[in-house]
Amino acid sequence: MDKEELYGEDRLAAETRIRNLLWTVSGDYDLSCELDIDSFQKAKEISLYDAIKQGAFARFFDTEAFGLYLVKKIYLGADEGQLMGIAQLCLDEASFSKVAAERPGVPDIRKRAFEEILERDFGRLNASFAGRLKLAYLRRALTGDPAGEQKIRRELDRVEALKDTKDTLEIIRCVDGIYNSAVDRKFEQEHGTLAEVLAVSMADLKKYDWQDYLKEEAEEARLEEYLRQMQNQLTSLSEEEEQEKEKTRGGVVLLDEEAVEKMYSYMELNYGRSYLNELEQQRIDQKLCRGAHADCSLYFTDGILAEPVKVNAQYELAKRTAEMNRRFLHQNRRVTRQNIEVLTEILNHALMTRNEEEIYASEYGRIVPNRLWKVGRTSGGKLFDLEIKKENSDFVVEVLIDASGSQRDRTSRVALQGYILSEALSQAGIPHSVFGFCSFWDYTVMRRFRDFDEGREANSRIFEFYASANNRDGLAVRTAGNALLNRPEDQKILIVLSDGRPNDIIVNRPGSKNPTPYFGDYAIKDTATEIRKLRNQGIAVLGVFAGTEKDLLAEQKIFGKDFAYIKDIRNFSRVTGVYLKKQVLNA
């Protein structure tokens, strides 16, 4: 979920900071630049590092010559996205050591920017060769860990050979060589060598209609506009801009054949091995991945920390996030303990009240001696007490937590809420499970933190919670409901912690039909429909809203009147306790 927009003085301050950084690094205070302040508010470290690179690029290399090479290569038929991805890496490698030698703070900014890109853009980067090369480049810069694929490692070595270059043409040769050897091996044969690319005339370029390559807001389809656009993109390693374009056109990402073949291995590397075997996986997909989710799959895992394929950058990120969550618990241990005690007391009292016998004066039952005086003196005297026992039904709860990237700013807070619920339910003796969910390509990941019949010691695993990728809420709710319906308990409750913004990328595999994009009203209606179906099947559903007020309307559409808006963690147990008490007493 986006942070609040920058207005007035805050926006001016951000713009001034980025512009001054760019001018200081470049040494050219007349340098014109296009500033993306909206990106700064979403990804501060990435935007700062982009400004540093833009200044370094302008200072150390010929930006116009490099931009023209890219335009000419694309004019002859190169894939814009793949070529740009390779070019960005080469420019970063050639610029970084030079600017870092002059400014000691740059490596720290670069490190934070790379970590943010890895966390946010992993899924999209895996969809192409240039993206996978970028992932390997980021990981090697952060950890020194070489890439796994020999093909990636070979091209990465070519990029890193640019570390000390001062020659723009050498960078161009490297970009061209990597593209021709790893992306399109027939390019030279069908379109031309590097010499032929560079020989394309300006007259030919100006005759070409560049409209399809320009941003929608571009007023004219002219070469100069496209060249300027390319130069601005060159110093950005983030996928944010492309991500926003995908959202506006429906969130569809096209995978190449290589990415499709390796999709499952990417899942294991990114989220840990699945605890289901292949047959179990097929059966549950056939049962649940229908209708709006027919093109999807489910992926059940205990997480990358529990079942890692190898210790990679994603593993290290998950480990650091878990440590951060536990520090947050320690910092808030008093309010956490109070919340657990309050919610436990509410649940225990409700269960005790429910199990108490109710006694009514009746015309039959157990005789009450002190009422015998009424015999012959009053009419219709009820001389007996009738004891009525409520049906002793059992309860079961599933806690389902939105673990998509829009929760990233609230990671520790959301983990703490899940922990409070789990501890209170454990102490009240109510069997429950806790799952996180997100979507990665066409997989909806169901991350198990604790299962129904595990002991209280399992509750602390909730602090391994981390947020990434997207969220297909409807399928996750359907899956959680299916698990509850398979339980023997009479009374079933589903608690969903979310931000009210279902939004998923659709994978368009080569040769497949283009499925319906899952975002906006379509996704909200689908999620609301799944919740309504569960309620009709006897499952009580509570939404715990963890978003901002601008998304409250969507939350209301999804959950109706049964949702809790938690503004202050200190009130978490009292607000959720009111709902749970009502469910226990009225069941």
With helix as H, strand as E and coil as C, how does 104-165 read? CCHHHHHHHHHHHHHHHHHHHHCCCHHHHHHHHHHHHHHHCCCCCCHHHHHHHHHHHCCCCC
Residue 393 has pLDDT above 80, yes or no: no
* Phi, psi at 360, each rounded to 5°: -120, 145
Position 199, amino acid: A
Residue 545 has pLDDT above 80, yes or no: yes
Percent of the chain exceeding pLDDT 90 equals 35
Residue 7 burial class via C-beta count within 10 angstroms: exposed 0-12, middle 13-18, buried 19 and up: exposed
Q: What is the pLDDT of residue 142?
A: 84
* Residues 220-259: tens digit of each pLDDT: 445 666 666 766 666 566 654 444 444 333 455 555 566 6
Q: What is the pLDDT of residue 107?
A: 86
Tokens matching residue 274: 């699945």
Percent of the chain exceeding pLDDT 70 equals 77
Q: What is the pLDDT of residue 209?
A: 58
User: Is residue 505 a contact partner of residue 410, using CB atoms and an 8 Å limit?
Assistant: no
Q: CATH code for 263-337+393-586?
A: 3.40.50.410
Q: What is the pLDDT of residue 509?
A: 55
Q: What is the pLDDT of residue 5?
A: 42
User: Is residue 120 a contact partner of residue 440, using CB atoms and an 8 Å limit?
Assistant: no
* Phi, psi at 297, each rounded to 5°: -135, 160
Strand 506-508 to 252-254 pairing:
parallel
Q: What is the pLDDT of residue 312?
A: 79
Q: How long a stretch of residues is the chain?
A: 587
| pTM score of the predicted model | 0.61
> Which of 125-129, 312-316, 530-534, 562-566 holds the top average pLDDT?
530-534
> Which of 32-36, 144-148, 178-182, 504-508 holds the top average pLDDT?
178-182
Tokens matching residue 129: 């060769």
Residue 532 has pLDDT above 80, yes or no: yes
388: confidence class by pLDDT, cuts 50, 70, 90: low
Domain chopping of the chain, boundaries: 8-249, 263-337+393-586
Convert 82-111 into a string of H (helix), E (strand) and C (coil).
HHHHHHHHHHHHHHHHHHHHHCCCHHHHHH
- Reported as type and span, the H/E element at residue 331 is helix 313-331
Query: What is the average pLDDT across 394-414?
Result: 90
Q: What is the pLDDT of residue 483?
A: 98
Q: What is the pLDDT of residue 390?
A: 57
* Phi, psi at 564, each rounded to 5°: -115, 130
Q: What is the pLDDT of residue 190?
A: 82
Mean residue pLDDT across the chain: 81
* Residues 252-298: tens digit of each pLDDT: 555 556 666 678 888 898 899 999 999 999 999 999 999 989 888 99
